[in-house]
Structure 1
Amino acid sequence: MEFVMAIADVFDIPGIGKVIMGGNPGITKNDTSKLCRKGQNIIIITQNGEFTFKVLDIRLSLSIAETVIIGIHLEDSEDFHRLKAGDLVYKI
């Protein structure tokens, strides 16, 4: 498993779906090789266990300090409500 990001926020956006956002200082606008890809499965490690999700889409944006903010749209799952800020995302 390779570390992708720490979750900073979790959203259920009407009309879009389940989204997690976060960051990783090892991912820059010039090097996104550590990111997961669309269609790939990821593992999210929480205090209550490990959960697998399928990635539907990934969006990147830049903060004012030019750090990469990662948004990952996840396939709907009954485990989504278990996710919270601080959980760790890994690509399989």
Structure 2
Amino acid sequence: MILKYIMSVGFKMEKDGEQRIAGGLASDYSIDNLKGLYLEEKEIIIQSEGHEYRFKVKKSEIATSIIEQVNLGLSLYKSADFHKVKLGDKVHISIEHH
């Protein structure tokens, strides 16, 4: 499996049983090029301090900032590993999802 970097975790929240992360997308993505980012019901891989954690995406939201950077928010299915995710961790998808 080959991994493709999509973003770093810039925001992390766990509230009322919902686990969410968000961040600005890698520079090779733009509002006109979001190919492969339909992630609902797909798996993401988060690399953190030499470990890989896998999470299933419940819902994804794409928004642009005032400077037209593309941001991605992901709601994840509940996982016991969510507490191990840290700001700055790298989020990847498998290129098999394309």
Q: TM-score, normalised by structure 2?
A: 0.85
Q: What residue is the counterpart of 1:18 in the other structure? A: 19
1:46 aligns with 2:45: no
What amino acid does structure 2 have at the position aligned with 1:87? Answer: D
Whole-angstrom distance in 2 between the partners of 1:60 and 1:38: 12
C-alpha deviation, 1:14, in angstroms: 2.9
Identity fraction in percent: 30
What amino acid does structure 1 have at the position aligned with 2:76? Answer: L
Whole-angstrom distance in 1 between the partners of 2:27 and 2:88: 15
Note if contact 1:4-1:36 (Cα within 8 Å) is conserved in structure 2.
no
C-alpha deviation, 1:33, in angstroms: 1.3
C-alpha deviation, 1:4, in angstroms: 1.4
Q: What residue is the counterpart of 1:83 in the other structure? A: 85
Q: What residue is the counterpart of 1:35 in the other structure? A: 37
Q: Which runs of 5+ in 1 are unaligned?
A: none
Q: Which runs of 5+ in 2 are unaligned?
A: none
Cα RMSD (Å) of the superposition?
1.5
Note if contact 1:27-1:35 (Cα within 8 Å) is conserved in structure 2.
no
Q: What residue is the counterpart of 2:59 in the other structure? A: 57
What amino acid does structure 2 have at the position aligned with 1:14? Answer: D
Q: TM-score, normalised by structure 1?
A: 0.90
C-alpha deviation, 1:26, in angstroms: 1.8
Whole-angstrom distance in 1 between the partners of 2:86 and 2:5: 17
Q: What residue is the counterpart of 1:71 in the other structure? A: 73
